[in-house]
Amino acid sequence: MTATLTKHIVDVQDVSLAFGNVKALQTVSLTLAEGEITALVGDNGAGKSTLVRCISGIHKPQSGTISFEGTPVHFRNPEDAREKGIETVHQNLALVDDLTVWQNLFLNRELTRGIGPIRFLDRKAMKEAADRMVSTLAVNVPAVKSKVRRLSGGQRQAVSICRAAGFSSKLVIMDEPTAALGVQETAKVEELILKLRNDGHSVLLISHNFSQVMRLSDQVWVMRAGRCVAGRRTTETSGDEIVSLITGSREN
């Protein structure tokens, strides 16, 4: 690995993980640069999600190290990772339909006020903060008082991304953020992802959509059969090259 000028927010070194006989990850090494959008591509079953789950604290690597901001980390659960500033936008978005937008934004991180152990929700503060989060970040998130049930697919995605981006997170991991969206909603969500980077967040993006990867990312890592087989600067590669790396018709 050559010395680089860029600071790495995440440094994955020789990480392996097997589920029984299935070698999900084999000595995977890659880095995510701070303040960049890094894309992770590969065929189904290539190990993308498993790797992401290691970074976000759901799985524990059996060997190898993961460093976050320069120091090796051993997350026991997703809460650990979240405390360090790693947020994940889940594929199912993890929103509660019958709660309002602000309640979802603050789910399990509610602000309270009170004396000693007797604490009540600070609804006013949460609504105001939610309004700020939504207005600074999102393009198309509706009034924070409306129920999530009333939102469109893109608006839900925006709420979910908003939640991940808030609370001073440093790395936002997104698993197929536009898979279920229409053309216009996809454009809005992409705009939001770029805005995250411009606001200083690092982003790890899993996507099957190559033109999206080319449009958004700064760096692309390609996975195949549990290994990280190649890495490219997005500006120095093409969609065709990425596809041939994914299928294995071209080695590194």
Structure tokens at 228: 């990280």
Of 48 and 188, which has the nearer Cβ to another protein?
Answer: 188
* Sole binder of another protein in the list 14, 96, 132, 240 (CB under 8 A): 96
Minimum Å distance from CB 239 to another protein?
Answer: 10
Check: CB of residue 101 under 8 Å from CB of residue 145: yes
Closest by CA to 178, choosing from 146, 148, 210, is: 210
HEC secondary structure over 142-197:
CCCCCEHHHCCHHHHHHHHHHHHHCCCCCEEEEECCCCCCCHHHHHHHHHHHHHHH
* Sole binder of another protein in the list 15, 46, 230, 246 (CB under 8 A): 230
| 225 touches another protein by CB under 8 A | no
Q: How far is CA 181 from CA 76, 80, 185, 200, 204, in A?
A: 33, 31, 6, 26, 19
| 11 touches another protein by CB under 8 A | no
Minimum Å distance from CB 74 to another protein?
Answer: 18
Binding string, 54-83, against another protein, x = CB under 8 A?
------------------------xx--x-
Phi-psi domain of 183 (left: phi exceeds 0; alpha: psi -120 through 50; beta: other): alpha
* Sole binder of another protein in the list 45, 64, 85, 231 (CB under 8 A): 231
Minimum Å distance from CB 21 to another protein?
Answer: 28
Of 17 and 193, which has the nearer Cβ to another protein?
Answer: 193
| 29 touches another protein by CB under 8 A | yes
Binding string, 188-217, against another protein, x = CB under 8 A?
x-xx--x-------------------xxx-
* Sole binder of another protein in the list 26, 27, 67, 146 (CB under 8 A): 146
CA distance linking residue 217 with residue 35, whole number of Å = 11
| 131 touches another protein by CB under 8 A | no
Of 22 and 96, which has the nearer Cβ to another protein?
Answer: 96
E-only strand ranges, 74-136: 86-89, 112-115, 118-121
The vertex-243 CA angle with 247 and 7, nearest 5°, equals 105
Query: Radius of gyration (Cα) for the chain, nearest Å?
Result: 19
The vertex-89 CA angle with 149 and 190, nearest 5°, equals 90
Check: CB of residue 78 under 8 Å from CB of residue 88: yes
| 85 touches another protein by CB under 8 A | no
Q: How far is CA 148 from the centre of its chain?
A: 21
Q: Where along the sequence are the contacts to another protein (CB under 8 A)?
A: 1-2, 4-6, 29-31, 33, 36-37, 78-79, 82, 90, 92-99, 103, 107-110, 112, 119-121, 123, 139-140, 142-143, 146, 150-152, 154-155, 184-185, 187-188, 190-191, 194, 214-216, 218-219, 230-235
